[in-house]
Structure 1
């Protein structure tokens, strides 16, 4: 089923971003769009497209309730989280936590900024957790792959640049890297490099690589006149090993489709050779999530594939990501962040963002305002640093004769 807002299949293969979209608008669109995608995907995370259709009587077209209805507090494997009804998940909680680090440092981040600011935020300051319907430490909501940050950095005193080694390799770091791409708006290579450093305490191997490539994709989406194809090209220009191969395979497949319904199975087939989790998402094999130069996380390639299928249309890309199932909250988070950066906040259905903000009891716009301020300050600092370097280099390179 193609959503009513899906692009006309006879139209151009790419929908360019509005050239007049401002930095503030793109940052808002990206962050609000990521939260909306997260909330829509949360209640069906872990299920297959067929199970989603059976449970909901068709494809999901907006906010839905918990998979197990009123039994969400006790039903396994979801309990005790209230996934659904517009509640954001840990993807958004971690994204907002990273923005708070930017608000404190007000410059580029590295692994030590994560150790000095993000980890203490997770373990010391209670926050409203929508899925728990209570105020709690973020540490009490995040999963084991994210708790790794606290165990390794805070308790293990591991060098932050190396702490990610040994963790399961998954999308845990990539899912909250949109702010890095936005601070480095229109500079994909810079976003990639910074995200690799920021992700170091959390992930290694292709999990860390995905964090860098996702940040680069968000930055590339901020380039005036960017298109889904230019975003994917930027990602491919930086991605390494299995991550690059997976994105390339999914992109080639996505080019043949214009609606997510017909693309669901082909996109899964395209990414499957690179995904270590296997066909049963809830029962990964013993070889799953181990370091490898041949493999990739599933979420980022599929998010980019859905962006291409949708020709950049936010609603189509996010709904395709949600109905894909498996780790669909993270897939929809990434697709929403990139599509929102391409087109600005107007691309995000206002009814969805209003519902998610009210249900989650979160101000989705305040983090965007903060990050836009920081991005401008960082750009000024970068300009000053670049000019100082240029002046020093000219002196060094001057012909003494």
Structure 2
């Protein structure tokens, strides 16, 4: 599916018609859904599928009730919330009539996150006073932050497309933090892509990392415009050929191959069911790099869409549980793949898809809701 550059696709029919949650519900659903996926996946992030099955049974980790020690979200949620804060600062300046460099606001937000992880601010970096987000201890815990995020920010250089830091890195640290760009209404899709891709360049210089982040943000943006899940995914992938890339840049071939595979394989579930965890990583990758994380998450979301004819009570919640469990149970970066899946479904369904018992187990929901409420307040109804 494609459209002209700078536009969002028109609402289309789908096998699962999109409900119409409020803008605020989509924001809360996206941020909380991502945190839920992150938290469940973080419990098994560094375990292979054999170890997961040995600990949680043949079906793997399915629910927070199986976690004896409680749950914690990781750097994925931390950085997503700091992305929100960088956007908030830029929007606050804009609403007061003062222009601001959005990417600079994001860079300063990420630098404050870097400081929260125990790293001194680079000498070359400008000082920024603390903001509301910085007052929460839960965001200062070190939860396996990605090396490229740390090293890219520690340079003190504001990485760009033309002056990249970590030019060979395409870790998933870009895509897993990029949902908030798609939650900003009233801006063109091309601008959403640019904001997300430019922010990815702050820490990762490889085209796959930048383009994966941009595509993911476009998926969220299309969902908030009322599109179906498969339509949003196909549309976002199509924009790699629609003039959104920097001049002279080509779509990353690994990204295109992985996302096309996710769309194709998720359409085959009626005949053969969902992929087994071993086959999932064989086809789409383990999720440690950006294009694999996005592909696994999209597959998990699309392969578990409930049959609309079944008329199952609470279908959004049923879908959320199934997709996140599929995104968690594999040999790979379980928290990032599940976080992305949770972001997508929360943006699509709004808060109605979030299981109440999972929310009760979530770490520091008030911090996530606080950032969601702030973003909703400055972006309108």
For Structure 1 versus Structure 2, the TM-score category normalised by the shorter chain is 0.7 to 0.9
* Cα distance in 2 between the residues matched to 1:372 and 1:129: 23
Q: Which moved more, 1:252-261 or 1:201-210?
A: 252-261
Partner deviation per Cα, 1:231-279 (whole Å, 9 max, x = no partner): 211222124232122100121112112697644333322224xx7x8xx
How far the C-alpha of 1:102 sits from its partner, in A, is 1.9
Question: How well do the aligned residues superpose, as a CA RMSD in angstroms?
Answer: 2.9
1:110–1:197 CA contact under 8 A, matched in 2: no
Q: Which moved more, 1:207-216 or 1:309-318?
A: 309-318
* Cα distance in 2 between the residues matched to 1:373 and 1:52: 41
**Larger relative contact order, structure 1 or 2 (CA cutoff 8 Å, min sep 6):** 2
How far the C-alpha of 1:333 sits from its partner, in A, is 0.6
Partner deviation per Cα, 1:102-132 (whole Å, 9 max, x = no partner): 22221586432233343135326665454xx
Among 329, 349, 363, the alignment partner of 1:343 is 349
5 Å matches for 1:100-111?
100-106=85-91, 110-111=102-103
Structure 2 unmatched ranges of 5 or more:
1-12, 95-99, 117-129, 241-250, 307-318
* Cα distance in 2 between the residues matched to 1:349 and 1:340: 11
- The equivalent residue for 1:119 is 111
- The equivalent residue for 2:8 is none
* Cα distance in 1 between the residues matched to 2:40 and 2:208: 26
* Cα distance in 1 between the residues matched to 2:65 and 2:373: 28
- The equivalent residue for 2:291 is 297
* Cα distance in 2 between the residues matched to 1:63 and 1:199: 31
Among 300, 303, 306, the alignment partner of 2:300 is 306
- The equivalent residue for 1:92 is 77
* Cα distance in 2 between the residues matched to 1:215 and 1:188: 9
- The equivalent residue for 1:38 is 38
Structure 1 unmatched ranges of 5 or more:
1-11, 70-83, 282-288, 290-295, 378-401
Among 238, 246, 257, the alignment partner of 1:245 is 257
5 Å matches for 1:1-400?
14-18=15-19, 20-58=20-58, 59-63=60-64, 85-106=70-91, 110-123=102-115, 128=136, 130=138, 136=140, 142-152=145-155, 154=156, 157=157, 160-161=160-161, 162-166=163-167, 168-184=169-185, 188-204=189-205, 205-224=207-226, 226-239=227-240, 240-241=251-252, 242-257=254-269, 262-272=275-285, 297-311=291-305, 313-356=319-362, 359-360=363-364, 362-376=366-380
* Cα distance in 1 between the residues matched to 2:142 and 2:40: 23
Number of equivalent positions: 319
1:228–1:311 CA contact under 8 A, matched in 2: no
Partner deviation per Cα, 1:162-214 (whole Å, 9 max, x = no partner): 34343632110111111111114785433222101111111122111111111
How far the C-alpha of 1:160 sits from its partner, in A, is 4.6
Matched position secondary structure for 1:210: helix
Matched position secondary structure for 1:44: coil
TM-score, normalised to structure 1, is 0.71
User: How has the CA–CA distance of structure 1 residues 367 and 159 changed in structure 2, closer, same or farther, with 3 Å as cutoff?
Assistant: closer
Matched position secondary structure for 2:281: helix
* Cα distance in 1 between the residues matched to 2:143 and 2:358: 27
* Cα distance in 2 between the residues matched to 1:120 and 1:167: 24
How far the C-alpha of 1:216 sits from its partner, in A, is 0.9
* Cα distance in 1 between the residues matched to 2:143 and 2:281: 32
